[in-house]
Amino acid sequence: MPSTMDVRDFAARFMTALGRGDPDEVRAFYAPDAALWHNFDDVAQTVDENLNLMAWMARKLPQRHYRVTRLELLPDGWMQQHVLEATLPDGRPFRLLACCVVQVKDGVITRIDEYLDPAQAAVLRTLRS
């Protein structure tokens, strides 16, 4: 495993890229066959599916920020808790708390297991147009 500082730096750069919402920038962090699983639907997205969702979020929530509240190193990556803070199109504030377990191999993310409360995310379904 890379050094503690390398993993923390990689994690910070990944979250910054997510916040910018640039699919090509984020793709560089993923292994081509990475799996991105969510607890609320028990489905593992492909990289392309995940990047499509990220691009949609960037369009619908252009004023957003990921605030990491906890990061713990694991033998094969890291676990983090974060809050997605955004402004909804109607001006209301939005917060979504999440916990992610991120696996890294050979310098790229191979899997993310994301846990969040679907009740908090329910407001996003109204933006699907």
Write the pLDDT tens digit of every residue in 32-70: 999 999 999 999 999 999 999 898 888 888 889 999 999
pLDDT score of 59: 86
How far from each other are the two terminal CA atoms of the chain, in whole angstroms? 43
How many domains, in total, are found in the chain? 1
Task: Give the range of the structural domain holding residue 95, as residue numbers without chain letter.
Answer: 4-125
The CATH number of the domain holding residue 71 is 3.10.450.50
Torsions phi, psi of 11, nearest 5?
Answer: -60, -40
